[in-house]
Amino acid sequence: MTDIECIDDSLQATVQGSRPYDVRVTLSQGSYVSGQCSCPDDAAPCKHIVAAVLASGDVEAVDDDQSLDTLLEAASAEELRTVLAEFANEDLRLRKHLYEVLGED
Model-level pTM greater than 0.85? no
Would residue 67 count as lying in a domain?
no
Q: Is 90 helix (H, G, I), strand (E, B) or coil?
A: helix
Would residue 93 count as lying in a domain?
yes
- C-alpha distances (whole Å) from 82 to each of 23, 68, 90 are 29, 17, 13
**β-sheet bridge partners, residue 32:** 27
Same domain as 7, residue 43 = yes
Would residue 65 count as lying in a domain?
no
Would residue 61 count as lying in a domain?
no
Domain total of the chain: 2
Tens-digit pLDDT profile for the chain (105 aa)?
Answer: 778 888 778 889 999 888 999 999 998 877 788 999 999 988 878 899 888 888 877 545 555 566 778 878 888 999 999 998 888 888 888 888 898 898 876
Domain that holds residue 28: 3-56
Would residue 94 count as lying in a domain?
yes
Same domain as 40, residue 10 = yes
R_g over Cα of the chain: 17
